[in-house]
Amino acid sequence: MSEYIGDSIFSSNELYRSVMNQLDRACSIAGLDPNVADRLKKPKRALVVSVPVRMDDGSIHTFEGYRVQHNMTLGPGKGGIRYHQDVTLSEVAALATLMTMKCSLVGLPLGGAKGGVRVNPNLLSRAEKQALTRRYTTEISMIIGPDKDIPASDVGTDGQTMAWVMDTFSQIKGYAIPGVVTGKPVDIGGSLGREESTGRGVVFCTEEAAKILKIPMNQQTKVAVQGFGKVGAIAAREIHSLGTKVVAVSDVSGGIYNEKGLDIPACMEWVQKNGVLKGYPNAQAITNEELLELNVEILLPCAMENVITGKNAAKVKARLIAEGANGPITPEGHEILVQKGVVVVPDILANAGGVIVSYFEWVQDIQSFFWQENEVNSRLKTLMVQAFHDVHGTTEKLKTDMRSAALARAMMRLEKAMLLRGLFP
Ligand code: GLU
């Protein structure tokens, strides 16, 4: 707020307020130029589109879609497309801001963007989802492209969705343009290792943090994972394969718990057959809320935002939390956890593996030269481990928590670039 204007149109959204609060905190800790900080609190550009779809029964339903380009100082916009019934323009703006910070933090030559359609994708048939995706892509086609803004998958979208985005954009231009989107199937220019990259990255960070906290990666260490989708299931599988005891996992159908540890590959097989975790044998049913408060050393929230708040943070028992989801902890919740001495590896670091391999995919598409999976994975690990230790170093130097340190680093890189480029006109 300044003397010239009132509150931003986005500020009614909880996640947006939470992200702005995080930026303010990091700015004051890092002593950033207030003009730069102010510019980073507003998205560069936001597009709202209407997406009419002919449903299978012949009726026409018009959905609302968004694409927000938060900042493009370092390169083209980058960020996923979310299909969820609760998506709003303000939520997308908040998530786009986090993408700017994420790309800057891990040193990518990319800016931050995000898109979304306000729809429950589980209620759509395949044909309806395809029609929705093609019309949405058409409506945002003038602002996306391999040099402009490169979407990817997010909550409610997957490789098939990205294939439709790629095809629609290519049909409009008249030739194949794989670099317009990442998270595509490998057969049309996707990268090996992209699908599993976010979950893998979460575990790379968790391992590094656990070393510092002297938490061993063995059966003594109990882990709970919220979310069993693209991020959570892989994170659970990877941390399980390191030898820890994953006692609980959950999805939209609820959670499952076994104090002796769950067989994660068997849970994945169950979900493949049954669609959801619910009903998995050899485990006790728990709620998503109960999972967060279990007696575990490590907690990985890999589902949605705002799940750990001022109301339940005091009941969280984990010593180490790595945010696989974007924004799972509110500022009030974070403050309580930090006071309790819980180490929180923030989203822009913990889940950056996805956008890192998206960057690799984009580079491969532009060069039409594709890498082996072990090259993708080892480059991912190098970047993640480096970013983790850089942030940890800043945490010690600034005597602050990891979230503020990560945001401070991200904003310092952006500040340098923004000051060099100068203010136009
Ligand atoms: N949706 C993912 C995220 O939130 C990936 C974005 C991307 O790869 O562009 O980080």
User: Model confidence over 277-294: pLDDT tens digits?
Assistant: 999 998 999 999 999 999
Question: Domain containing 234: what range?
Answer: 197-350
Q: Are residues 149 and 204 in the same domain?
A: no
Tokens of 317: 């028992």
pLDDT in tens, 229-240: 999 999 999 999
Q: Are residues 165 and 221 in the same domain?
A: no
Is position 311 annotated as part of the catalytic site? Answer: no
pLDDT in tens, 22-53: 999 999 998 999 888 899 999 999 999 999 99
Tokens of 99: 């993408």
358 lines ligand 1 (CB under 6 A): yes
Closest ligand 1 atom to the C-alpha of 352? Answer: 10
Q: Are residues 164 and 295 in the same domain?
A: no
Say what percent of the chain tops pLDDT 90: 96
Domain boundary among 333, 350, 367: 350
Domain boundary among 350, 379, 408: 350
DSSP for 110-169 reads --EEEEEEES-GGGS-HHHHHHHHHHHHHHHTTT-BTTTEEEEE-TT--HHHHHHHHHHH
Cα–ligand 1 centroid distance for 112 (angstroms)? 10
> Quick check: is 35 in a domain?
no
Domain boundary among 176, 205, 220: 176
Q: Is the pTM of this model over 0.75?
A: yes
Q: Are residues 154 and 219 in the same domain?
A: no
pLDDT in tens, 372-417: 999 999 999 999 999 999 999 999 999 999 999 999 999 999 999 9
Which CATH number fits the domain that encloses residue 301? 3.40.50.720
* Residue 332 banded pLDDT, cuts 50, 70, 90: very high
191 lines ligand 1 (CB under 6 A): no
Q: Are residues 219 and 106 in the same domain?
A: no
Cα–ligand 1 centroid distance for 394 (angstroms)? 24
Position 243 scores a pLDDT of 98
Average pLDDT over every residue of 313-335: 97
Average pLDDT over every residue of 186-199: 98
Cα–ligand 1 centroid distance for 184 (angstroms)? 13
Does residue 101 surpass a pLDDT of 80? yes
Q: Are residues 48 and 160 in the same domain?
A: yes
Say what percent of the chain tops pLDDT 70: 100
Scan for tokens 């190098």, then name that residue. 382
